[in-house]
């Protein structure tokens, strides 16, 4: 028997990270737009671009799309960084922590310093909680997707269609 056929094909870590980052930005950037539309957050979807563009432009539909693209770019970069640092991490908690770390970096350090947003003390509670939850889920999506692919998590999944399935009585 050929031993090479027994091995599962290896996933390219960098291509997979770009793929996950793109979809994380697409999905969670869309959630960011919905959160702004329903007034759960006072930040525009393009808050990452506030230092570069006028706020009035970022509140137009073109600004929303530009903000969405910026969130996708941030997601791709952060997914590549996660793949470099934590690809072999087990479980979802590293992804949750990764999302919290990105939220803290953006909202407590980079955002107020660059003018992306006001200091956290001047943001309303709904904005802070909504953005924190969004970044936790975003980090969980990136982290667990990448970790699931590059660890043995798939091998621990229940076997489908065999004797290992519990019988229904």
Instruction: Give the Cα separation of 2 and 131 in Å (integer).
Output: 52
- Would you say residue 21 lies in a domain? yes
What is the domain count for the chain?
A: 1
Kindly state the average pLDDT of the residues 117-146.
95
Instruction: Give the Cα separation of 82 and 114 in Å (integer).
Output: 24
Q: Looking at 6-150, list the stretches that DSSP marks H as alpha helix, in order from N- to C-terminal side.
A: 13-37, 55-58, 61-86, 93-104, 111-114, 125-150
- Would you say residue 130 lies in a domain? yes
pLDDT of amino acid 161: 54
- Would you say residue 164 lies in a domain? no
- Would you say residue 1 lies in a domain? no
Kindly state the average pLDDT of the residues 91-112.
95
**Any idea how long the chain is?**
169
The count of other CB atoms within 10 Å of the CB of residue 158 is: 8
Instruction: Give the Cα separation of 130 and 141 in Å (integer).
Output: 16
- Would you say residue 80 lies in a domain? yes
| Alpha-carbon torsion (52, 55, 61, 67), positive or negative | positive
- Residue 45 domain boundaries: 11-151
Model confidence over 13-71: pLDDT tens digits? 899 999 999 999 999 999 999 999 999 999 999 999 999 999 899 999 999 999 999 99
- Would you say residue 57 lies in a domain? yes
- Would you say residue 53 lies in a domain? yes
Instruction: Please state the pTM of the whole predicted model.
Output: 0.83
- Would you say residue 168 lies in a domain? no
Task: Indicate if the pLDDT at residue 159 is higher than 70.
Answer: no
> Considering the chain, what percentage of its residues have pLDDT values greater than 70?
85
């Amino acid at each position: 028997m050929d031993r090479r056929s027994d091995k599962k094909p290896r996933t390219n870590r960098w291509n997979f990270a770009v793929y996950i980052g793109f979809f994380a930005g697409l999905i969670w950037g869309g959630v960011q737009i919905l959160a702004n539309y329903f007034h759960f957050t006072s930040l525009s979807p393009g808050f990452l671009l506030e230092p570069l563009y006028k706020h009035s432009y970022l509140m137009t539909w073109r600004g929303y799309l530009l903000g969405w693209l910026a969130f996708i770019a941030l997601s791709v970069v952060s997914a590549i960084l996660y793949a470099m640092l934590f690809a072999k991490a087990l479980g979802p908690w590293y992804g949750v922590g990764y999302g919290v770390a990105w939220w803290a970096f953006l909202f407590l350090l980079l955002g107020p310093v660059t003018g992306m947003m006001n200091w956290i003390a001047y943001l309303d509670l709904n904005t802070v909680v909504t953005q924190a939850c969004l970044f936790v889920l975003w980090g969980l999506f990136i982290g667990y997707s990448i970790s699931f692919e590059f660890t043995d998590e798939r091998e621990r999944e229940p076997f489908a269609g065999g004797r290992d399935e519990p019988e229904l009585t």
